[in-house]
Structures are given as C-alpha cells and as structure tokens.
Amino acid sequence: MDFLYAILIDPFVQMVELPDFLLQVLWEGFVAGVLYALIALGFVLIFKASGVFNFAQGIMVVFAGLTLVGLHEKGVPAYLALILTIGVMGVLALAVERFVMRPLVNQPDIILLMSTIGLTYFLIGFGEFIFGGEPKQMITEELGLPTGSTAFEIGDGGLLILQHIDIAAAVIAIIMVGCLAVFFNKTRIGRALRAVADDHQAALSVGISLNQIWAIVWFAAGIVALTTGIMWGARSDVSFALEIIALKALPVLILGGFTSIPGAIVGGLIIGIGEKIGEIYWGPLVGGGIESWLAYMIALIFLLFRPQGLFGERIIERV
C-alpha cells in the first residue's frame, strides 16, 4: 500500500501543498518544450518537402551555433557574425541540394536517410576541425538577448523565478512558428513546397523545380537550426553535446506527427512539461534520472495507439 500511495497519491499531494514549486516546474517544462519544438520544426520542414528524416538536423544546430561563436571569437562583430552565419547556412543548403539530394533523386527513402547520417558525421568532423571540440560560450549579451531573472511572489511566501532568456526563447519561438505558418500557407514558394510534399511527379509536371524547393527548405531548416543553437547555447554552452539534446525531437515528432508544424509545437510542450513533472515528482521513486528516457517511453506508448501522431496524416492504402 505504501508503494501505491507513493505513486498515485503523494505526488499530487506535493503539487497541492507547494503550488509555487509546481508553477516553477511547469514553467521550466514549458521552456524546454518550446526549445524541443524549435528543433522538431527543422525536421518537419525537411520531411514535408522530401519525405526524408533529416538525421543531420541536430548537428546543424551545433554547427550553426559554433559558426556564430567562432566568427565572433575571430573578431567579427556579433551582428555581422550573425549575418555571415546565415550566409554559411545558405551555402550549406546549396551544397546539400547539389551534392547529396540531387544525385539521389528517385532513390529509396532508406538511401536518403543514410545520406543524412553521412552528412551528420561529415559536419561533426568538419566542425571539430574548424572550431575544435571544446565547449564555447554563446554571445548572449552581444546579440542583445536579455539576461538575469525576475521573481514573482505567489501565495504565502512562494516564489516563481523566470529567467529572461527563457522568456525571450518562448517569444522568438512563437514568432518563428507564425512566420513559418505564413510562409507555408500564404506564399507561392510555400504552396509549391506543399505540392512537392504531396507528390514529386505531379509537382514536376506543373513546372515546380524540385532542386529549387529543396535548396530553399534546407536553408529554412538551417535558419531554424541557427535560432535553436542560439537559444540552447544561451542556456548552456555551445558544444557537440547539444546534438544529443536535439534527438529529443524524435519523441516530439512521434507525438505531433512528422509533417505537422502545429504537431511539433504541441508534441514539444507535452514532452517538455511531461518529463519535468515526471523527473521531479516520480523520479525519486526510482532513483532519479528518468528525464533522459521518459520522453522516449511516452512516445513509444503513444506510437502503439496512434502511429501517425496527433496531427499526422493517416496513410490509407486501398487494395
């Protein structure tokens, strides 16, 4: 009975007794979820345009962050380094389209997936060769991002502490999602991209250039990776360890659906908030550390009941 009480009753008693602490946990989970969603957006963009799971999205986040910090360390002013980094991600997008995607047109999906794995290890080696393997500090203040924190009193002596960089991350993520939604639904390129995602051959037959669309979407994914690298790097150092964090986008995509931008947001929030609450209130029962694997367990259970995700498109095959 004590074990059942510890699992089913005690965590909720703690939530009621310390509401300010619960709010703090929810806020931390919300911010983590927003950042997971940003990473997942990069995966969704590539998958919508080409049907390929871009395994390299995680290392693109690291590469973009390292390029920005590395240029600044060479004496380039922060905002000029930001513009140059955007240019580097554009060159990377063109190179991927020309040397990876274009030669593999009409190849099976598994071949394209393997090519992105190869791209991942190329970028790891190239990044270590150029920038070294040491963690670097993000140039948060130089970019004009806020630092510090604000504390709010809640109830009888409770405190809710909000880091300013976390608030900025949430605002920037919301703006980016809004811009992507407008891009996909209101622009000619966005409509062409959706046409390519639906049927490559049909898109080609109406004059849509696959090569152009792929270059654009990889560049957009690079911009998302740069934004994610800046925000994650501001909360911790910029290092190759961020690639592991980026893989948290996998359960986010499973929950939200691989082709849905709203799904990436909702999935990110579910994973972010779920793993924080699980770690704080249920983690001590098993010795802690469940934050590293709870997201994958949630995704696995969800996969059994709804494989296409919350917002994914159900695949119907008629015989």
pLDDT in tens, the chain (319 residues): 777 888 888 888 888 888 888 999 999 999 888 888 888 888 888 887 777 788 888 888 889 999 999 999 989 999 999 999 999 999 988 888 888 878 887 778 788 888 889 999 998 899 889 888 888 888 888 888 888 888 888 777 778 889 898 898 888 888 887 888 788 778 887 777 777 766 767 777 777 777 788 888 888 888 888 888 898 888 878 888 777 777 778 888 888 888 787 888 888 889 999 999 999 999 888 888 888 888 888 888 888 888 877 876 665 555 5
The DSSP letter of residue 99 is: I
In the three-class reduction of DSSP (H, G, I as helix; E, B as strand; rest coil), residue 136 is classed as strand
Phi, psi of 301 (to 5 degrees): -65, -45
Token pair listed for 89: 């991600």
Give domain limits for the chain.
1-305
In the three-class reduction of DSSP (H, G, I as helix; E, B as strand; rest coil), residue 314 is classed as coil
CATH of domain 1-305: 1.10.3470
pTM (2 decimals)? 0.86
DSSP string, 143-173: TT---SEEEEEETTTEEEEEEHHHHHHHHHH
